[in-house]
Amino acid sequence: MRYVIVCVIKGEAGRFNNEMRKDIFKKFNAKSSKLPAHFTIKSPFEYEGSIRDLESALYKFSKEEEKYSFIMNKYNHFDDRVIYMDVNMSKEAKEVHDRLIDLLSSFEYIKFNKKDGKNKIFHVTLTSKKVPPIFGKLWDYVNQYTFDFTCHFDNISIFKWEDSTWKLYREFKIERKIK
């Protein structure tokens, strides 16, 4: 089985990203992920065994942690290949993320590289396929639409690859602790 672990971006920011991606595809035929608006926690990985232990660990983690904010207010890009919305993690949200990476690293079938470990570039992709030939046009186009969102790292979502698309398998909500 193929899985990916992400934080789904919800609310106004998620809607903005999802609509921008549809618009970019309609106007430029440049595609993005089949996942909803998200930042990646663990890029796709294969595992044929049971992931019940992983699910139990993520459930426990989600109940012990607090949700923290991050800001999205500017575009950025990886060379001329990918255009994305920058994610500016708060110190606290980054610390939760890093503890989550430590937890996920304890599973033998989950391996991180520099692009998806603790020091990743946090981003929410707008377009990542067929970009180079039209990068300039795409970059100019998206920059017409300003945004400023305060979001929360408030979920850990596992998606499973089925029927040629990503389907939500489990969502673990991170809710603020009562102090």
Which pLDDT band holds residue 46 (cuts at 50, 70, 90)?
very high
DSSP run (H or E) holding 158: strand 155-162
| pTM assigned to the model | 0.94
Residues 6+ apart with CB under 8 A from 108: none
In whole angstroms, what is the distance from residue 165 CA to residue 163 CA? 6
Q: With bands split at pLDDT 50, 70 and 90, how would you rate the model's confidence at 116?
A: confident
pLDDT the model gives residue 177: 58
Task: Quick: pLDDT tens for 126-156.
Answer: 999 888 899 999 999 999 999 999 999 999 9
**In the chain, what percentage of residues exceed pLDDT 70?**
98
pLDDT at 178 over 60: no
Q: What is the torsion angle, in degrees rounded to the nearest 10, for the CA atoms of residue 51, residue 70, residue 119 and residue 74?
A: 120
